[in-house]
């Protein structure tokens, strides 16, 4: 909203810089259309997509930023101090069709660091090149205390985690895909996560979604061909978090190290509900290099399945798996 209100003023400054090209004081206001006419003004402009993003995250009021071009970070983003920030991609293909805008961390830089109460909404973005390494977490989003919403985004070729949420209102993901990321995708602790129409495919390394004392609700999610070394390739839920999947599909998820458990899902000391879900070819490795079907492992956990418990591949140590359709959502 604010972004739009600012536009006429910037346009005027842009016009002035066009009329007074020798005055460096006005150069900063150059808008994209003028940059094309006066190429020299473009260099000084704080209106590059990255500069506009940096400006937006540190605003003190509700801010909506519409990106209209891809951006490659040249430094970590500053900590988000905006209490209610929305960043929406509004890019076009050469043929003028609407597409996501790409944000590339270039394997070096960190994205949104949100360390307070408040809301961050991200939509229509393609997120790539966020790569954490020892000593530096280059996550795309790290939130402590915030409410994070992600809509219609694609996350691909990131490594070492993409979204990390601790406490707060938690994480909501809708209509998005996480494809071919390495080393985990989402971690949520002491909070909640809701996912609707989300695809997790061909992610490698560790469990795609790791939860600690966190409730998860997943509707119409697909987990396909994810692989992890030691534990559940799709979702791992630890201590006191409860999870509910409804109309989800778990296909071809694999744990690759001998002794690893829960091909698709591991529930540790907590509760998992699977309403009208489909399980196919989720596997673990056993001694002798063989694979065995294991969709869900309940490690001191309880599992309710509706309409039925799969005839193979639901295993438990101390735990129980039973048929229970109570409190399954109807659609
Ligand atoms: C936060 O921003 C969103 C999107 O602009 C808006 O719908 C919502 O009302 C805002 N919330 C507050 C408390 O300002
Ligand atoms: C953030 O979202 C939560 C719940 O989603 C809402 O209760 C709260 O008012 C929002 N805060 C702002 C600043 O918009
Ligand atoms: C998943 O893996 C299977 C077996 O390797 C393969 O046939 C299938 O095409 C893969 N699916 C996707 C969407 O990559």
291 within ligand 3 shell (Cβ under 6 A): no
Q: Mean pLDDT of all residues in the chain?
A: 87
Residue 62 shares a structural domain with residue 98 = yes
Across the range 48-61, mean pLDDT stands at 95
Residue 242 shares a structural domain with residue 283 = yes
- Domain boundary among the residues 182, 203, 225 is at 182
252 within ligand 3 shell (Cβ under 6 A): yes
Residue 9 has pLDDT above 50, yes or no: no
Residue 152 shares a structural domain with residue 226 = no
**Best of 80, 83, 85, 169 to mutate for ligand 2, by most ligand atoms within 8 A of CB?**
169
Q: Is residue 214 part of a domain?
A: yes
Residue 75: give the domain boundaries: 56-182
What pTM does this model have?
Answer: 0.85
Q: Is residue 41 part of a domain?
A: no
98-153 tens-digit pLDDT: 999 999 999 999 999 999 899 999 999 999 999 999 889 999 999 999 999 999 99
- Domain boundary among the residues 138, 163, 182 is at 182
- The two three-digit tokens of residue 319, written as one number: 């735990």
Residue 203 shares a structural domain with residue 262 = yes
The tally of CA atoms less than 13 A away on the side-chain side of residue 77 is 30
Q: Give residue 225 CA to ligand 3 midpoint distance, Å.
A: 6
Ligand 3 atom showing the smallest separation from residue 202 Cα? 14
Q: Is residue 312 part of a domain?
A: yes
Residue 99 shares a structural domain with residue 171 = yes
CA distances from 188 to 102, 164, 166, 167, 210 (A): 24, 6, 6, 8, 7
Q: Is residue 196 part of a domain?
A: yes
Give pLDDT, residue 38: 43
Q: Which of 63, 68, 106, 70 is nearest to 86 (CA)?
A: 63
Q: Give residue 186 CA to ligand 2 midpoint distance, Å.
A: 21
Residue 303 shares a structural domain with residue 265 = yes
| Residue 65, strand partner residues | 87
83 within ligand 2 shell (Cβ under 6 A): yes
Alpha carbon dihedral 34, 38, 40, 42, in 10-degree steps, equals 10
Q: pLDDT class for 331, splitting at 50, 70, 90?
A: low
Q: Is residue 3 part of a domain?
A: no
Residue 215 shares a structural domain with residue 119 = no
CA distances from 267 to 198, 210, 302, 305 (A): 20, 11, 8, 13
Alpha carbon dihedral 63, 68, 74, 76, in 10-degree steps, equals 30
246-303 tens-digit pLDDT: 999 999 999 999 999 999 999 988 899 999 999 999 999 999 989 999 999 998 888 9
169 within ligand 2 shell (Cβ under 6 A): yes
- Domain boundary among the residues 132, 153, 182 is at 182
149 within ligand 1 shell (Cβ under 6 A): no
Total domains present in the chain: 2
| Residue 292, strand partner residues | 284
Contacts of residue 257, defined as CB under 8 A and 6 or more positions apart, other chains included, come to 229, 230, 285
Q: Is residue 46 part of a domain?
A: no
Residue 203 shares a structural domain with residue 331 = yes
The secondary structure element, H or E, covering residue 155 is strand 154-156
Residue 84 shares a structural domain with residue 195 = no
Q: Is residue 257 part of a domain?
A: yes
DSSP 198-255: -EEES-BSS-SEEEES-EEEEES-EEES-EESSB-SSEEEESS-EEEEES-EEES-EE
Name the H helices within the chain: 2-19, 32-37, 39-44, 49-57
Q: Is residue 177 part of a domain?
A: yes
175-220 tens-digit pLDDT: 999 999 999 999 999 999 999 999 999 999 999 999 999 999 999 9
Residue 133 shares a structural domain with residue 202 = no
Indicate the DSSP class of residue 32.
H
Indicate the DSSP class of residue 321.
E
Residue 212 shares a structural domain with residue 297 = yes
Residue 212 shares a structural domain with residue 172 = no
Q: Give residue 272 CA to ligand 2 midpoint distance, Å.
A: 28
Q: Which of 68, 151, 147, 69 is nearest to 112 (CA)?
A: 147
């Amino acid at each position: 909203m604010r972004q739009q209100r600012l536009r006429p003023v910037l346009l005027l400054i842009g016009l002035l810089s066009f009329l007074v090209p020798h005055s460096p004081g006005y150069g900063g206001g150059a808008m994209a259309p003028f940059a094309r006419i006066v190429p020299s003004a473009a260099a000084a402009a704080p209106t590059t997509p990255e500069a506009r993003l940096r400006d937006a995250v540190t605003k003190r009021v509700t801010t909506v930023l519409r990106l209209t071009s891809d951006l490659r970070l040249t430094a970590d983003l500053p900590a988000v101090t905006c209490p209610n920030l929305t960043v929406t991609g509004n890019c076009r293909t050469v043929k003028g069709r609407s597409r996501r805008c790409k944000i590339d961390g270039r394997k070096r830089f960190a994205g949104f660091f949100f360390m307070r109460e408040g809301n961050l909404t991200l939509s229509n973005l393609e997120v790539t090149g966020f790569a954490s390494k020892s000593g530096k977490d280059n996550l795309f989003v790290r939130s402590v205390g915030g409410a994070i919403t992600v809509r219609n985004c694609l996350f691909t070729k990131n490594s070492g985690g993409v979204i990390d949420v601790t406490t707060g209102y938690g994480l909501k993901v809708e209509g998005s895909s996480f494809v071919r990321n390495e080393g985990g995708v989402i971690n949520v602790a002491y909070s909640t996560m809701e996912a609707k129409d989300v695809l997790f495919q061909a992610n490698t390394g560790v469990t795609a979604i790791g939860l600690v004392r966190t409730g998860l609700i997943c509707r119409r999610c697909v987990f396909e061909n994810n692989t992890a070394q030691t534990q559940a390739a799709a979702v791992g839920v630890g201590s006191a978090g409860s999870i509910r999947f409804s109309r989800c599909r778990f296909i071809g998820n694999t744990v690759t190290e001998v002794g690893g458990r829960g091909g698709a899902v591991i529930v540790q000391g907590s509760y998992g509900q699977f309403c009208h879900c489909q399980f196919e070819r989720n596997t673990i490795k056993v001694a002798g290099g063989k694979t065995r079907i294991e969709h869900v492992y309940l490690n001191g956990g309880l599992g309710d399945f509706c309409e039925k418990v799969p005839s193979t591949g639901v295993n438990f140590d101390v735990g129980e798996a039973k048929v229970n359709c109570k409190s399954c959502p109807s659609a």
